């Protein structure tokens, strides 16, 4: 369509503009565990399938996944959250480390790490086991250490970025944000330029004055229901008390239609009668009745009568109440998320904006809201207009739902979805020396830290990947200099490299942690170091930085030198030796011998 290319370039420019944006994420961090199984028979004890576990995946969840998405989208993410001293906590730390999130979590030995374990067969979720709830409260010492971590992380981000950081609050009712922590965040609101809030219970956060809130439809309607029963004094701020029996963690989403699992309430023109259940009811959750015009919310929950429900969708209801939601939350922007129906967004101009998404299986959409929140926050922090922020947030959520697992949107994927070629977006992996100098200078003017490393990377293996991920976590931009084929032959011998330089470049460029690759012909990267002037120069090895030959040059240019240990028993030479040894072994008749696993 006309102007489509220009619009996509404008959106891509915003994605480039938020690169390195400092973001502090605080809240309920959890571990998502996915267990993929196969089943071909029922057990004898009950009509239940017998499952054989084939694969297990762990991923960051909740606030931790929001931080992972911020980092994957190009922001500088720091996570502050209580994490248990247990196996799940160790796995969560690994997830954060791999994603390049600054891990400032607080160890809580007496409080287990919340976990959501999903068992699947044929990509169908058969059951989910949750551990961790609001009863696992933080003790006084835990609260004090969490507040200290918040204060230190805020100052750390300000010092690193030279500007007030962005704050993202993820409150999912699991006890990571008790009253003293909420009070601290409200009191110190002025330390953050942009504040985003995603909370199951928005009533707890009235004093925060967030820039943006992202409630689900159920969370928004529950807030409106409480507000309808509140009687604030003239001129006083709205205070919403929790009704007796109100659940801490309500349904994640409800579908407009009829009351979940019950009988539709009596309204004028509607005769009570049995209805079919819809949505995700929670025990004890009250209901809101929507009248015949489809727009009036009353009561203490959400229900749409059967007559009105057919002609009214959730987007219409959300659009009609955006102004009230802004008033009740104190937010500049309200984005009501509607899962497969997209979202409705409203700001100070009173103009509702609707975005749409593509329906997918529920197992594909876990964490899509975290991607939405991360992109919306980064866009608003980069001063993008609200329509642009809403577009990018919906796009980030939509492109993550292609497969089963916890959703993470990468910056590169977002740019590709905008039809922005990596070179056109200023992020082409392979660059020449002159082009690299200009790219580095642009990032340096924006206050971003440049990390530089070099090597042959002949046979890319796990040790390389781990090393490069750790290197990327030391700054905002990772430049990898690769020895040319001639340079490798001079350093390693006439039978190296095993893989030509174009193959080595292709593999390095495919790694999410690598921003740019440059080839050098010399035996030493000294000239490139003088060109790049890295803030951090990284080498692999277990020796001190003083033994790195390039250390004096790097320090003379104002940079620091770091050495990172390799993964044990992983090296290119060892892999090549094993391959050669295997090729020299005498061939045996193995027709009757089982192959080794």
Residue 136 annotated among the catalytic residues of the structure: no
User: CA 416 to CA 396: how far, in whole Å?
Assistant: 11
497 neighbors 489 (Cβ within 8 angstroms): yes
377 forms beta bridges with none
Token pair listed for 560:
């620091």
Helix, strand, or coil here: 428? coil
Q: Is the peptide bond before 244 cis (omega within 30 degrees of 0)?
A: no
Closest of 381, 473, 366, 396 to residue 62, by C-alpha: 366
Distances (CA, A) of 99 to 34, 79, 363: 18, 12, 22
Q: Which of 186, 174, 234 is nearest to 330 (CA)?
A: 186
- On whether the CB atoms of residues 77 and 384 are closer than 8 A, the answer is no
Of 184, 203, 102, 192, the closest CA to residue 154 belongs to 192
Q: How far is CA 547 from CA 466, 532, 533, 542, 551, in A?
A: 22, 21, 19, 10, 8
State the catalytic residue, choosing from 332, 339, 341, 370.
370
Query: CA dist 520 to 178, 208, 561, 581, Å?
Result: 54, 52, 20, 32
Distance between CA atoms of residues 425 and 416, nearest Å: 10
In the structure encoding, which two tokens stand for residue 491, read together?
Answer: 């350093």
Gyration radius (Cα) of the chain, Å? 27
Distance CA 232, CA 434 (A): 64
Taking the C-alpha atoms of residue 276 and residue 7, their distance in angstroms, rounded to an integer, is 44
Cβ(288)–Cβ(312) below 8 Å:
no
CB 426 within 8 A of CB 439: yes
Two tokens, residue 191: 């330390």
Residues in a beta bridge with 106: 82
Q: Check if the beta carbon of residue 328 is closer than 8 Å to that of residue 202.
A: yes
**Whole-Å CA distances, 405 to 35, 36, 100, 155, 410:** 10, 10, 19, 34, 15
Q: Pairing mode, if any, of strands 536-540 and 450-455?
A: parallel
Give the list of residues 6+ apart from residue 559 with CB closer than 8 angstroms, or none. Answer: 533, 534, 535, 536, 537
Residue whose C-alpha is closest to residue 175's, from 141, 200, 202, 138: 138
Catalytic amino acids? 370
């Amino acid at each position: 369509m006309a102007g489509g290319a220009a619009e996509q370039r404008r959106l891509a420019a915003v994605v480039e503009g938020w690169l390195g944006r400092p973001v502090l994420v605080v809240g309920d961090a959890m571990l998502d565990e996915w267990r993929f199984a196969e089943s071909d028979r029922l057990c004898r004890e009950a009509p239940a399938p017998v499952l054989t576990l084939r694969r297990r995946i762990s991923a960051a969840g909740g606030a931790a996944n929001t931080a992972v998405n911020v980092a994957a989208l190009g922001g500088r993410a720091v996570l502050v959250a209580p994490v248990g001293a247990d196996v799940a906590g160790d796995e969560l730390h690994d997830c954060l480390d791999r994603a390049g999130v600054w891990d400032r979590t607080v160890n809580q030995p007496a409080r287990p790490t919340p976990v959501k374990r999903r068992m699947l067969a044929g990509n169908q979720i058969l059951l989910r086991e949750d551990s961790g709830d609001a009863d696992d409260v933080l003790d006084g010492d835990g609260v004090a250490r969490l507040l200290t971590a918040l204060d230190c992380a805020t100052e750390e981000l300000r010092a690193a970025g030279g500007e007030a950081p962005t704050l993202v609050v993820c409150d999912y009712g699991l006890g990571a944000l008790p009253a003293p922590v909420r009070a601290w965040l409200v009191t110190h609101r002025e330390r953050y330029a942009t504040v985003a809030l995603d909370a199951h219970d928005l009533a707890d956060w009235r004093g925060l004055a967030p820039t943006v809130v992202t409630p689900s439809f159920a969370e928004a309607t529950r807030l409106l229901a409480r507000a309808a029963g509140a009687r604030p004094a003239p001129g006083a701020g709205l205070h919403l008390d929790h009704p007796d029996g109100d659940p801490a963690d309500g349904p994640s989403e409800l579908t407009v239609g009829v009351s979940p699992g019950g009988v539709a309430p009596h309204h004028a023109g509607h005769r009570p009668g049995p209805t079919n259940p819809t949505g995700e009811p929670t025990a004890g959750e009250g209901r809101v009745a929507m009248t015949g015009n489809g727009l009036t919310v009353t009561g203490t929950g959400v229900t749409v009568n059967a007559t009105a429900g057919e002609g009214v969708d959730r987007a219409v209801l959300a659009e009609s109440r955006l102004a009230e939601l802004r008033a009740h939350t104190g937010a500049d922007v309200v984005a009501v998320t509607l899962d497969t129906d997209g979202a409705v967004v409203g700001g100070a101009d009173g103009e509702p904006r609707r975005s749409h998404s593509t329906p997918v299986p529920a197992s594909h959409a876990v964490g899509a809201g975290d991607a939405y929140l991360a992109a919306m926050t980064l866009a608003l922090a980069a001063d993008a207009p609200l329509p642009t922020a809403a577009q990018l947030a919906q796009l980030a959520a939509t492109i993550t739902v292609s497969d089963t697992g916890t959703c993470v949107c990468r910056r590169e994927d977002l740019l590709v979805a905008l039809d922005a070629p990596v070179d056109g977006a200023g992020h082409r992996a392979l660059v020449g020396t002159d082009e690299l100098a200009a790219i580095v200078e642009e990032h340096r003017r924006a206050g971003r830290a440049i990390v530089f490393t070099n090597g042959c990377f002949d046979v890319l293996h796990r040790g390389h990947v781990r090393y490069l991920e750790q290197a990327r976590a030391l700054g905002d931009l990772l430049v990898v200099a690769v020895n040319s084929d001639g340079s490798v032959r001079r350093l390693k011998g006439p039978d190296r490299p095993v893989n030509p330089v174009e193959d080595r470049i292709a593999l390095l460029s495919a790694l999410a942690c690598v921003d740019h690759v440059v080839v050098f012909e010399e035996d030493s990267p000294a000239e490139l170091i003088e060109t790049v002037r890295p803030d951090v120069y990284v080498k692999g090895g277990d020796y001190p930085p003083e033994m790195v030959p390039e250390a004096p040059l790097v320090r003379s240019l104002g940079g620091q030198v770091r050495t990172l240990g390799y993964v044990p028993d992983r090296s290119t030479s060892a892999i090549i030796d094993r391959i050669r040894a295997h090729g020299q072994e005498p061939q045996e008749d193995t027709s009757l011998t089982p192959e080794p696993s």
